[in-house]
Amino acid sequence: MIEMIDGNANQNFVIRQQAPRLNLEPSWILDTLKNCWKSGLDGIFWRILIAAVIVFVGIRVVRILYGILKKTFDRMSLEENVNKFLLSVIQAGMYALVIFIAAEKLGVPSASIVALMGSAGVAIGLSLKESLSNVAGGILIMLTRPFVLQDYIVCGNVEGTVEDIGLVYTALITVDNRKITIPNGMVANATVINVTAQDKRQLDLEINIGYDSDLKRAKEILLDILQSHPQVIQEDGVKVFVKELGDSAVVLGIRGWMFREEYWPARWDIIESVKLRFDEEGIVIPYQQMTIHMESQKKQ
């Protein structure tokens, strides 16, 4: 502020400068302590008592609501992992609401609580970037459901039966009883083959026979094996055909349908039956071999 003073004899200019005032707002911790101090010991006691009652009652209410929601989700026949995820998220949200109400009753400003939770969320998100991508992948798997528990899947160079679909990892059990844990981010971005998604699977085999063998008889034997096998679904039809003429063998193809639970036992049994029948009928199954001719030169 500048102030000018005129005298009668001489004009004197007096400049007075007023220092700016700093408006420093106290933090929410100081505000809370100040409010508690003003209210006295009785006020502090009642604030703590009310907050404790809110926490106690809130926990009871959350448990009751959790039980009701769990029964509701069970009746909706949702996937088990989807139920667990939704219940855990809802439960965490309800507990956060209880803590928010109790803190507000203690005198903590609600805006400060929201700002604190936001800052904590940003810090956690930056430190757990990779894990959060796996969590997002787990949520995507639960929503799109490309596979469920007990499905046999092939993901990249690993395969096995799905044992668990968590928020971060998917666990597979291989045929030799090994457990493989895959990050959900990789599963969500990879090509997944669900082998057991359908009730039936098609058997597709290639059988090689020699060019000197009886082609028609070989086809009759293969057709008889498929038509007489108890695990091959005859209503869906069977096929035996010449697939191609290879370099050293005639390639025959056979196709038939069977239920997925019986696929592997039926496949193994059919392959064994083909070998035994071909041996009985004199049908040759060629194999790779090398013949070396050596010429000796006489020394003169």
Which residues, in sequence order, are CB contacts of 182 under 8 Å at separation 6+?
A: 155, 158, 169, 170, 171, 172
- Which of 173-177, 266-270, 289-293 has the weakest average pLDDT? 289-293
Distance CA 283, CA 99 (A): 80
Question: What does the pLDDT read at residue 18?
Answer: 47
Residue entry with tokens 């430190």: 127
pLDDT band at 41 (very low <50, low <70, confident <90, very high): low
When comparing pLDDT for 182 and 114, which is higher? 182
Q: 183: closest CA among 130, 127, 145?
A: 130
Mean pLDDT of 219-244: 92
pLDDT in tens, 51-94: 888 888 888 998 998 888 888 877 776 666 667 777 877 888 88
Mark 145-170 as b/e (b = at least 16 C-beta within 10 Å). Answer: eebbeebbbebeeeebbbeebbbbbb
Q: What percent of the chain lies above the pLDDT cut of 70? A: 72
Question: What does the pLDDT read at residue 121?
Answer: 66
Three-class DSSP category at 183: strand
Question: What does the pLDDT read at residue 23?
Answer: 42
Q: Are 214 and 283 in contact (CB under 8 A)?
A: yes
Mean pLDDT of 202-222: 92
